[in-house]
Amino acid sequence: MNFQKRKLGNSGLMVNPIGLGCMGMSFSYGEVKSKEEMTPLLHRAVELGVDFFDTAEVYGPYINEELVGEALVPFKGKVAIATKFGFKLKPDGSAGYLGLDSSPKNIKAVAEASLKRLKIEAIDLFYQHRVDPNIPIEEVAGAVADLVKEGKVKYFGLSEAGANTIKRAHAVHPVSALQSEYSLWYRKPEKEIIPLLEELGIGLVPYSPLGKGFLTGAMKADTKFDASDFRSTLPRFQEEAIKKNQQLIEVLQEIAQNNSATPAQISLAWLLAQKPWIVPIPGTTKIHRLEENMSSLQLQLNENEVKRITLAAEAVQVIGERYPEHVERMSGL
């Protein structure tokens, strides 16, 4: 399929309007899926027009990059792959991390290792995964700038960074994209971050654009999450919160019905209508969900519909924090 490409940042990264977040295939969302299961999904994504794939060394760790790298070898040069640095991983390679590490030495080591796992010559977009309070952002941007000069990285990105961090990093080396959570049920970036990105010419890549699955309408108050699914620990996914947050789903279902669409498609279409430099990366492990998400590109919401969805969502008070406090503290937003 051919789509009108979107530009992430002023430095020239052009991708189709919806990318694919690959984390859930190997990390955080319950049982780890096999390469045999996920490779056909990644190939189908390319067939449907996805040319922007998101991974990170910490997803697994390592196995998500290996999956994405191997599956996308046939499409080398036709797709962009984003990955991330910034966590201090366990020496034995087990899941989880020991803290943050955005030291220039670690950034360069991660780049070398990611290039091998991804089977590419240059990382299309290299994000700092979380801001490291122990390393000045100028040093981080400088280390990535060195990698750009060496031809190992094409574009620099930040994730969940605050306004001051974004400005300081951008002054050293152009930031092409900020990856942050943004959706109909998490709109904090609208206040300060989105106006700043517009001013500086930086693209926005919303992760969890479907509210970690909630905005699909598939969850009910009695939905139970496996202990290996990190949503089981999130305040917003506890039984009482899910029950109260159904009000938002009811609004989306009504609007979806009027547009012969699904709540997920309405949520993505609303996000795409906010700015022409927003590229959401919904994740999935199911081909039918992938197809549903990509079909949202055929939805053309008019200005009135966008406004109505916005107002309807504002009228619903979302219950529950998005993360436990210790995780939220790592966000610079």
- H helices of 49-89, in order, are 63-71
Residue with tokens 């202990």: 227
Identify the H or E element spanning 6.
Answer: strand 6-8
Sheet containing 80-85, strands listed edge to edge, beginning at the edge strand earlier in sequence: 20-21, 52-54, 80-85, 123-128, 153-159, 175-181, 203-207
Q: Which of 29, 59, 155, 207 is catalytic?
A: 59
Long-range pairs of 133-136 with CB within 8 A, sequence gap ≥ 24: 133/100, 134/100, 134/102, 135/102, 135/103
Contacts of 191 (CB under 8 A, 6+ apart): none
Query: What distance in Å separates the CA atoms of residue 103 and residue 84, rounded to the nearest whole number?
Result: 13
Active site residue 59: yes
- Amino acid letter, 269: A
Which residues are part of the catalytic machinery?
A: 59
